[in-house]
Amino acid sequence: MRSIRSSRPFSIGPLPGSCPARPRLLALVAMVLAAASTWAQEGAAEGAAPDGRTLFNRFCYECHRGPGKSNGPTLAAIQRMGSDQVLTSMTAGKMMEQAAEMTTAEIFAVVNYLTAGNDAMKAAMPESARCAGEPTVSTERVPLPGWGVDPANTRFQPDSTITRENVGRLELAWAFALPDVADVRSQPVVTEDTVFVAAISGGVYALDRESGCIEWEHETGATLRTSLALGRAGERTVLFVGDIGATVHAIDAHTGEGLWSESVALFDASATTGTPVPYRGADGRDVLFVPLSAFGVVLATNPRYECCKSHGAVLALDATTGERLWVTRMTKDAVPTYKSSEGVQQWGPSGVPVWTTPTLDPERGQLYVGTGENTSSPATYLSDSIVALEMTTGAIRWVFQGTRDDAFNMACGRRAGPNCPKENGPDFDFGAAAVLATSSSGKQIVVAGQKSGEVHALDPQTGRVLWQNRLSQGSALGGVHWGISVVGDRVLVPIADPPFPRPGYTPKPGVYALDLETGELLWEHRAERRCELDMAALRGGENPWPECPFQYSFSAAPMASEEVLFAAALDGRVYAFDIASGEILWQDHTVRSYQAVNGIEAHGGAIDNAGVQLAGDSLFVLSGYSLFGQMPGNVMLVYRVAAE
């Protein structure tokens, strides 16, 4: 277990990153506020109170310098986060190695410095935001049960009534502000009368689909990280969600009652990213397939960190109890390898995180996941791969490796740090869920997009390559990030290439349509910056929503109706494309303030991760994502087709 060195007789107990015990964060946040007040008074008397700003500049600034300079959120974005999110990052998340040399008092001083001015974002829900009477939640018809819409992860919405003829009548119906956050990363679940949405800050909300009023809310006490999924657990209809500490939470969809919370962590650095997928087998047993990622890739930036021991996995849980049924690890356990230039012991193999939502193929009794790179040497054969697993046992049936010899962490780059693996990249993950697609001729194909900018079509029985099309050069932040969509015989692919000025690199951000059976390019929409960039102003980091943001590519997962593809960009714009031609049919710019139905300050920002969703005549847009120096935000926007 990791502990924080403290100069005072105060203990916060086991940290959220410890394994297997992962306590709730609400108590920690209360301790932050109480302890900070005490230490401020004592420090003032002693003349030795830790200065949060000085400590931030010393320990944290390197990761948060701004677009084009670092990968972390800017200072302005962090200052819109809640204290629990910042505290989790420093004690159990991506920044815990940077904070390892701080005392407990110093950590709390930094948290207070960063979050003291965001009271508007932390406002409590007013009573006026709540629906009248007892919760009335129906789950008889569920057009959007989880990440991929269907078990094959097509992100095609047959329920949608949005067409090329009526899409131009989309209007904003209501906006819901997720409290105490600077990012919205959890795709909602939508039933005939309810929208379920989760906030990074730990709350899960059931909202009336018509008005947005709150039917019920459930506080997990954890920093939530995955999208929601709706499934069955015996006689109950249940929501599943994973947190940053690799704990999965099961919540009764009708009442908001917490049913169970179980850790799936294998290491202190384990995390959940891809959405858990519920499945009822032929034997009637309800199973939950959980992908496991890890953030050793970030911890390696500390040259004193022994990189790296954690690795990815897939787990099957009993959906009713949370009991583990099987675990398939993506590497062997790490062993000591060599010492870095700083004399720090290195470990390997490690990494191969499973970022993606599993794709189910019940007909063949298997599921498919995509993996990331190794985070330390040596590189292994399951990294940067599509892996087919047996649904009942987790046994590996076949592997397609997209890129060999890829070991990378965030110590790498133009000035590689001591923990950068010998292979030094190129960091070509499969971060987007694979799709099990069926063409009009009845041919089934596994389609997978990679950060290399390549789209691969594979035989689902053997993993044999059917076709490949490289749409861009890709990069660590480029290529295909979060998802693709398949509608009929069209594969619809967002490309996230960032506009970094590098020798020999030509970014090709945009949206592309390919033929499902051949991989032939059918149409393309190239993303463009629509403004004049002022890098000096951006690097100042004072304005979280610059008039001309650095990023403008397509990273978020798209979703489509029969005729219309919805895709959103990092500059906060959401687009509707004609699937047949690529013509832009409708668009909106979400980087602005909104009057939220729940009475909390709301603002849009970069659109990333889950991006856009469809159900019936409604479009759901999650706006705000501050990672990689992007624009923060905290709003879910609900558009509807207006009557003629």
- What pLDDT score does 224 carry? 93
Mean pLDDT to the nearest integer, 521-529:
96
Class of domain 26-115: mainly alpha
Residue range 494-513: mean pLDDT, rounded: 94
Res 449: pLDDT: 98
Instruction: Answer whether the bond into residue 498 is a cis peptide, omega within 30°.
Output: no
> Does residue 251 carry a pLDDT above 70?
yes
Task: State the pLDDT confidence band at 277, using cuts at 50, 70 and 90.
Answer: very high
pLDDT at 542: 74
Tell me what pLDDT residue 60 has.
Answer: 67
- pLDDT recorded at residue 491: 98
In terms of C-beta density within 10 A (0-12 exposed, 13-18 middle, 19 or more buried), how is residue 244 classed? Answer: buried
Does 638 have pLDDT greater than 50? yes
Average pLDDT, the chain: 87
- Interval 220-239: pLDDT, tens: 988 899 999 999 999 999 99
For domain 133-641, the CATH architecture is 8 Propeller (2.140)
**Of 69, 314, 86, whose CA–CA distance to 180 is shortest?**
86
User: pLDDT digit string (tens) for 398-447?
Assistant: 999 999 999 999 999 777 899 999 999 999 999 999 999 999 999 999 99
**Gap between the Cα atoms of 81 and 244, Å rounded:** 15
CA pair distance 559, 16, nearest whole angstrom: 34
Report, as an integer, the average pLDDT of 167-189.
Answer: 95
Per-residue pLDDT band for 120 (boundaries 50, 70, 90) equals very low
Residues 264, 270, 274: CA angle, nearest 5 degrees:
75
pLDDT of residue 595: 96
pLDDT digits (tens, 9 = 90+) for 4-51: 222 222 223 333 333 333 333 444 444 444 444 444 444 444 445 677
Residues 282-301 have pLDDT tens digits of: 889 999 999 999 988 988 98
* 71 vs 608 pLDDT, higher one: 608
Residue where the block lists tokens 């297997």:
20
Summarize pLDDT for 360-393 with one digit per residue, the tens: 999 999 999 999 999 999 999 999 999 999 999 9
Q: What pLDDT is attached to residue 351?
A: 97
What integer pLDDT is reported at residue 27 of this predicted model? Answer: 44
By percentage, how much of the chain surpasses pLDDT 90? 71
Q: What's the CA gap between 448 and 457, in Å, rounded?
A: 7
Q: Is the pLDDT of residue 100 over 70?
A: no
pLDDT in tens, 305-351: 999 999 999 999 999 999 999 999 999 999 999 999 999 999 999 99
Rg (the chain; Cα; Å): 23
Phi-psi region of 227 (alpha: psi -120 to 50; beta: other; left: phi over 0): beta
pTM above 0.75?
A: yes
Nearest-5° angle of CA 635, CA 596, CA 222? 50
List the domain boundaries for the chain. Answer: 26-115, 133-641
Q: What is the mean pLDDT of residues 504-533?
A: 96
Q: Residue 538: which pLDDT band, with cuts at 50, 70 and 90?
A: confident
Is residue 124 pLDDT above 60, yes or no? yes
- Return the sign of the alpha-carbon dihedral for residues 532, 611, 184, 19: negative
In tens, the pLDDT along 462-486 reads 999 999 999 999 999 999 999 999 9
Cβ atoms of 203 and 218 closer than 8 Å: yes
